[in-house]
Structure 1
Amino acid sequence: MSEVKKKNEIQNVEKKVEEGVVEVGKKFKEALSNVARHLPKANLSRSPKKDSFTIEVDLPGVKKEDINVSIEGDYLIVTAERKMKEEVKKEDYYLMESAFGKYTRTFYLPEDIDRDSIDAKYEDGRLIITFEKVASKKRRDIAVK
């Protein structure tokens, strides 16, 4: 085999490997985008007092009894399951649409957060979780004597 032929063959193999890497990258990006689309949206805000925080998680179509909030180590974990089934029976047709899905969101809790102060309530498709800093870490004013 001539040197030119070997070089062309090597270049073809390199090109195919590169194309494969690019294709895998596209598939991976597409998969991550699909996963992110199905995660519930969440907002973190700090109260004007600056010692308490709120996380709001959008969970439309989820029933209160299908939501679980737990603490594992330094993480606050929200899991929820949506079980929706819509059924229409008419004389000339039958329609059934359903949407099922399990969601999990995990939030890191810094060490200065009081785990006992965490509270969660669910209203109008939104889970509202509130928590505060540990008392010893809260801001306080000291009177000058």
Structure 2
Amino acid sequence: MKLVRFNQTEPYFPNTFSGMLDKFFNENMGTPLKHFNPAVDIAEDENSYEIQLSVPGVQKKDFKVELVDGKLTISGERKMEEKKEGKNFHSVETQYGSFSRSFFVPEDIKVEEVNAAYEDGLLKITLPKKEKKVVKAAIEVK
């Protein structure tokens, strides 16, 4: 018996140009990927910016987060388990390998208060905003 995965939401031929390029350049004749791009959500409220990366299976020690000259770079690696003990894999859809994502951040953040936390497969980076100084002056009409 041959095990075949069926997934109607992910067709053999990608439905976007970007998906087609990813499939063409990243899938190397059935070998696992060496690099991948985790999904990212970016949000903002009145006090901070928040970046969330979906990277389940990565350990905290495997992340590197740097903020240099207004460029935030998040990198890491998801390692594939080497224990195969009698298992024959018919499909491996989990993305393994290294990743790196970079973002230019606004100038209005408090660099010394940037915080990164990893929980339940989500890396959450909080970039607090500086307080806006309201400059108010009474101007005399002459």
Distance 1:64 1:116, change over 3 A: same
**1:70 maps to 2:66:** yes
Scaled by the length of structure 1, the TM-score of the pair is 0.60
Q: Which has the larger radius of gyration?
A: 1
Partner of 2:126: 130
Could you give the per-residue CA deviations for residues 58-109 of structure 1, whole angstroms, max 9, x where no partner exists? 11221110001111111111001111215242xxx45478964110011111
Q: Summarize the Cα distance change of 1:107–1:124 in structure 2 as closer, same or farther, 3 Å threshold.
A: same
- 8 Å Cα contact 2:36-2:98 kept in structure 1: no
Superposition map of 1:1-145 within 5 A: 30-31=21-22, 34=25, 38-47=36-45, 50-89=46-85, 93=86, 95=88, 100-135=96-131, 137=132
Q: Which segments of 5 or more consecutive residues in structure 2 lack a partner in the other structure?
A: 1-16, 27-34, 135-142
Q: What is the count of residue pairs matched by the alignment? A: 105
Three-state SS of the structure 1 residue aligned to 2:107 is coil
Higher helix proportion (structure 1 or 2): 1
C-alpha distance in structure 1 between counterparts of 2:73 and 2:44, whole Å: 19
Kept in 2: contact 1:53–1:131 (CA 8 A):
yes
Poorly superposed stretches of 4+, deviation over 2 Å: 31-35, 86-89, 93-100
> Structure 1, unaligned stretches of length 5 or more?
1-25, 140-145
Question: What's the Cα RMSD here?
Answer: 3.0
**Residue 31 of structure 1: CA displacement?**
4.9
Residue 87 of structure 1: SS of its match in structure 2? coil
Asked if 2 retains the 8 angstrom alpha-carbon contact of 1:57 and 1:128, the reply is yes
Offset at residue 34 of structure 1 (A):
5.0
User: 1:30 is aligned with what amino acid?
Assistant: L
Indicate the structure whose relative CO is greater, using CA pairs within 8 Å and at least 6 residues apart: 2
Hey, what's the Cα distance between the residues in 2 that align with 1:56 and 1:94?
A: 34
Report which of the two has the higher share of strand: 1
Relative to structure 1, the CA distance from residue 126 to residue 86 in structure 2 (aligned partners, 3 Å threshold; closer, same or farther) is same
**Structure 1 63/138 Cα, relative in aligned 2: closer, same or farther at 3 Å?**
farther
- Distance in 1, matches of 2:133 and 2:118, equals 27
